[in-house]
């Protein structure tokens, strides 16, 4: 049976709840932490260091840190603009990518400093298929794209073998969304020759054997194509980490494979906020809150709300409350914050109801929570070693540990 790992995609050193959740996960027996140089612009790696400082040597002795390298974003992108890294693919204005040898070595140094460790247990190339995407956009032939991709991976493996020998990492591998594509998909990253590349890299450096040990890829109850890759990996004695276990895509729609309870205090905070804003000065804010309430059941999935919250709701709220004096502003901000917390819970509840309806065939035999069924599907798969779960609150960690215990009983 697979185990749970702790994913740190949205973990920040500046949020005490995140640190508490990470600390409790380790205390509860989770021994693998997955992170990356670009997660929260490095804050995730620093959060790991902060959480582990407060734990005993015994508690962290079996904890393994898996980090990733490849993305050029945030402060790393600013460095690139000052002094360009090599072999960079420009995906968007705010997202570049590289797996060049110098960039890998640079990011290992940065990661060791943030994590406050002398060696990283496992380092993964993070979605190297950005080169394939770039090649498609530039009209390269499939043969040229793959030749270039494999050459880049081989060069990266050389750097990683050197870093293993130097002791700065203990092993390496690849995390790729394209491992989960169908082989006929233009974005598919062929994996069956990767171990040959690792062996060739080790031989060139006269290492006794290669240190490629791990792959990571998205798999969930709705997206199962990656199980082919997982089976190949296990056959070749590689460890398999699975991400995105509860955020699933079917057709063009995304679903959160989890049930949520209806928040009991939602209407209390809604009515309190409407009462506070029902005046001439704050009428725009009153209208916004009313519109949000009317639209709470219209989000496609909870991730859509998260994007809408930061791109639309928060900027408008700031605009409406800016003219207020400090005292009234502070009071109103506190009530808005409480309302938005409850509103997020209500959106999650409404989305979970819709998911139950739209995926009734997939979950027809599911007589427990959606998350129990979705996670059991992965934990029971003999080709999966770790299922990575993001848990930014202590309650999430408690729920995951509870689910794991229930499934073990079954």
pLDDT digit string (tens) for 274-320?
999 999 989 999 999 999 999 999 998 999 999 999 999 999 999 98
- Based on the fold, state whether residues 197 and 95 are members of the same structural domain: yes
Q: Is residue 151 part of a domain?
A: yes
- Based on the fold, state whether residues 134 and 199 are members of the same structural domain: yes
Half-sphere exposure of 32 (CA within 13 A, CB side): 21
pLDDT (0 to 100) of residue 408: 66
Q: Is the pLDDT of residue 9 over 70?
A: yes
Q: Is residue 176 part of a domain?
A: yes
Q: Is residue 364 part of a domain?
A: no
- Based on the fold, state whether residues 171 and 288 are members of the same structural domain: no
Q: Is the pLDDT of residue 6 over 90?
A: yes
- Based on the fold, state whether residues 217 and 337 are members of the same structural domain: no
Q: Quick check: 33 and 6 in contact, CB under 8 A?
A: yes
Q: Is residue 75 part of a domain?
A: yes
- Based on the fold, state whether residues 132 and 244 are members of the same structural domain: yes
The DSSP output letter for 263 is P
CB atoms within 10 A of CB 316: 12
Q: Is the pLDDT of residue 407 over 80?
A: no
Q: Is residue 301 part of a domain?
A: yes
Domain extent, residue 342, equals: 266-358
**Alpha-carbon distance 129 to 147, whole Å?**
12
- Based on the fold, state whether residues 62 and 154 are members of the same structural domain: yes
**Alpha-carbon distance 112 to 35, whole Å?**
12
Average pLDDT over residues 137-145: 96
Q: Is residue 375 part of a domain?
A: yes
- Based on the fold, state whether residues 274 and 216 are members of the same structural domain: no
Average pLDDT over residues 320-327: 85
For residue range 111-120, what is the model confidence (pLDDT) as tens digits?
A: 999 999 999 9
- Based on the fold, state whether residues 193 and 220 are members of the same structural domain: yes
Mean of the per-residue pLDDT values of the chain:
95
The domain that holds 213 is classified in CATH as 3.20.20.100
Give the total residue count for the chain.
410
- Based on the fold, state whether residues 64 and 154 are members of the same structural domain: yes
- Based on the fold, state whether residues 252 and 270 are members of the same structural domain: no
Q: Is residue 363 part of a domain?
A: no
What total number of domains does the chain contain? Answer: 2
The DSSP output letter for 85 is P
Average pLDDT over residues 206-233: 97
Q: What are phi and psi of 89, to 5 degrees?
A: -105, 125
| Of the listed ranges 146-155, 178-187, 229-238, 400-409, the one predicted with least confidence | 400-409
Q: Is residue 209 part of a domain?
A: yes
Tell me the two tokens of residue 287: 């209208």
- Based on the fold, state whether residues 297 and 375 are members of the same structural domain: no
pLDDT (0 to 100) of residue 325: 85
Helix axes 370-379, 326-358, angle to 10 degrees: 60
User: In this prediction, what percent of the chain has a pLDDT beyond 90?
Assistant: 89
- Based on the fold, state whether residues 249 and 176 are members of the same structural domain: yes
Residue-by-residue DSSP string for 314-329: HHHHHHHHTTS-HHHH
Q: Quick check: 403 and 372 in contact, CB under 8 A?
A: yes
């Amino acid at each position: 049976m697979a185990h749970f790992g702790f994913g740190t995609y949205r973990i920040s050193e500046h949020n005490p709840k995140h640190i508490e959740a990470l600390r409790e996960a380790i205390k509860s027996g989770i021994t693998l932490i997955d992170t990356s140089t670009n997660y929260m612009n490095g804050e995730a790696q620093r959060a790991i260091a902060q959480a582990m400082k407060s734990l005993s040597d015994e508690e962290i002795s079996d904890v393994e840190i898996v980090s990733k390298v490849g993305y050029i974003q945030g402060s790393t992108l600013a460095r690139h603009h000052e002094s360009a890294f090599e072999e960079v693919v420009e995906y968007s204005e705010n997202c570049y990518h590289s797996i060049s040898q110098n960039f890998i070595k640079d990011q290992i140094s940065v990661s060791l400093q943030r994590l406050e460790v002398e060696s990283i247990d496992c380092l993964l190339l993070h979605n190297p298929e950005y080169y394939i995407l770039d090649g498609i956009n530039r009209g390269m032939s499939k043969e040229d794209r793959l030749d270039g991709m494999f050459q880049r991976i081989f060069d990266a493996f050389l750097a990683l073998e050197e870093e293993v020998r130097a002791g700065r990492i203990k092993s390496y591998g690849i995390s790729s969304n394209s491992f989960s594509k169908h082989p006929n998909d233009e974005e598919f990253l062929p994996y069956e020759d990767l171990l040959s590349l690792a062996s060739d890299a080790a031989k060139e450096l006269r290492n006794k054997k290669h240190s490629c040990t791990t792959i990571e890829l998205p798999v969930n109850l709705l997206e199962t194509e990656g199980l082919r890759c997982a089976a190949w990996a296990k056959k070749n004695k590689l460890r398999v980490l699975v991400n995105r276990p509860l955020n699933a895509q079917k057709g063009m729609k995304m679903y959160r494979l989890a049930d949520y309870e209806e928040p009991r205090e939602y209407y209390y905070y809604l009515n309190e906020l409407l009462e506070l804003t029902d005046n001439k000065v704050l009428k725009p804010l009153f209208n916004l809150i009313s519109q949000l309430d009317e639209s709470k059941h219209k989000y496609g999935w909870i991730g859509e709300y998260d994007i809408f919250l930061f791109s639309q709701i928060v900027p408008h709220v700031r605009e409406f409350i800016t003219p207020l004096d400090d005292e009234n502003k502070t009071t109103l901000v506190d009530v808005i914050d409480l309302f938005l917390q409850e509103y997020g819970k209500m959106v999650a509840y409404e989305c979970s109801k819709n998911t139950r309806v739209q995926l009734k065939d997939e979950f027809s035999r599911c007589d427990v929570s959606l998350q129990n069924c979705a996670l059991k599907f992965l934990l029971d798969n003999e080709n999966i070693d770790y299922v990575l779960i993001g848990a930014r609150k202590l309650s999430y960690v408690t729920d995951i540990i509870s689910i794991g215990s229930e499934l073990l009983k079954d």
